[in-house]
Structure formats: C-alpha cells, structure tokens
Amino acid sequence: MKPTVEVPMSEQERIQALLQAGKITQQEADLLLSALEEGDTAAQQAQATLGEQYAAQPSGWQPEGLRWVRVRLTAGQLEARLDESLQMPVVEGPAEVRSAGPDLEVWPEMPGGSFLGGLLGRVGSLELRLPPGWGLEIDSKAAQLEAEGIAFLKGRVAAGNVELGAVEGLDLEVTAGNVEGSLLLRDGQHRLRASMGNVELDLLPESSVRLSPSVSLGNQEVRGFDRTSNGAKGQLGEGRASLEVSVRMGNLEVKARG
C-alpha cells in the first residue's frame, strides 16, 4: 500500500479552512483573500511587464554580528524602530514570538486570537522595537512598512509602501509600491530594487556612500552628490559604503542632505 502524501494547503485554502472552523469571520476572510489577490496580481503584472529582469536576486551583503527579527505579514501595517534602552526586541500587538537560534520569528495573529499557522499576518498594525545590534527581515504582501533608525532592513515587499527613517542598512526588493524616506549609510554594500513604483530617498549627513542609480522606464534625478568621472554615479564623503538603486518602471529621486 502506497503511503499517503499530504499536499500542503495554499494560503487561500487555509483561509477558507479557518473560516469554516469559525476561527475568523467572513469579513476577515474577505480582507485576507483580497490582500492575497492584490499582491499576486501585482507580482504577475510586474513579471509580465518586465520579463526575466524581474527574477528574484540572491541576498546581498549584510553586517556581521547582527541578530534578526523575521516577520511575515499580509494585509496589515508594521512599524519598526530603534530603541536603545532595550536589550531584546519588543513586539506590541497580537503576535507569537519564537526563538530561531540567535534570532526571533514573529508570527502575527488575527483579531480575536485566531492563529494563521505562520502563513498569514493579521489585518491591523504591529509595532516592533529593536535594540542596537538587531536587524529586520520582512516578507510582506499588501502591507505597509515603516522603519525608523534600525541597523538593517532586508527582504521583500509585494504590493505595499515603505517609509524609511535614518535606516543604516538596506537590501530590499519591492514588487509594486512606493519607497520614500532617509538612509544613513557609512559602510558596506546596500541595494534597493523596485519593479513598479516610485523611489524617493535622502542620504543623511554623515553618510559615506557611492551611489549607483538606474531607471529602465521613467525619470531619474540625483542631487547633491559629487559626480564621478563617468557622470553616472555620485559620491558622498569617502564613499565607504555603496548603494545600488534600481527602478524598472517608475521614477527615482535621490538627494544628499546638506
């Protein structure tokens, strides 16, 4: 007799199962299904428009010695900020926090406490306070992300907007959405890849960075940087860090604050 092979449920099937079991309401199910459809549609449109260029890239450079908080979120909002008074990260909002070696994993919960088995986040907001020496790894769909003062932000955002405030490290891919805010880069290699959307970045004083911008379809504006010999890149200070910003379809604006 052949063993039974269990086929994992899709995210949509899991939502339906939770609904039938009475663990979420019809309204919550509709919101989650709508968010999934929005994220999937955005990804499909980007792939169809951009072709092979859209293929995901392997993770790049990241600082040694950082510990990580990993969050997977669907249809919600995450606010992450530095809190120098802390020794360990603090999560505010309904979520389960698990240890994963030296790192932490955060699994958001639905309103009312129903748990989505690690596949989906909740509809609502989550606040994360990080001590020095911790970075954030995000995998989100149809969600909004705000990061303030943290050491490093990496991961992927599908169909959502990102706001950055004095973030010190970046390796982020955005499928469809806008990215705006400020970076403080002093060393290392950093990159931002936006498939469809607009990017507006400020490089804060004390940054030491070489900038490599590119736009496939849209407008590009770079201000306040010292030009290199080829005219295609800009530099601040000694250029100890590097920042590669790629926008496939949209507008890019990068400026250096005086």
Q: Is the pLDDT of residue 3 over 60?
A: no
CA distance 106 to 258: 38
90 pLDDT band, cuts 50/70/90, is very high
Query: Token pair for residue 142?
Result: 């149809």
Q: Is the pLDDT of residue 229 over 50?
A: no
Retrieve residue 135's tokens. 């970075």
For residue range 191-203, what is the model confidence (pLDDT) as tens digits? 999 988 999 999 9
Q: Name the residue range of residue 246's domain.
A: 178-258
Same-domain status, 72 and 132 = yes
Q: What is the pTM of this model?
A: 0.79
Looking at the domain assignment, is residue 43 inside a domain? Answer: yes
- Is residue 131 within 8 A of residue 86, CB to CB? The reply is yes
Residue 196 lies in a domain: yes
Q: Are residues 24 and 109 located together in one domain of the fold?
A: yes
- Buried b or exposed e, range 141-169, using 16+ CB within 10 angstroms: bbbbbbbbbbbbbbbbbbbbbbbbbbbbb
Contact residues for 15 (Cβ-Cβ < 8 A; gap 6+): 24, 29, 32, 33, 36, 116, 120
Give a yes or no: residue 156 inside a domain: no
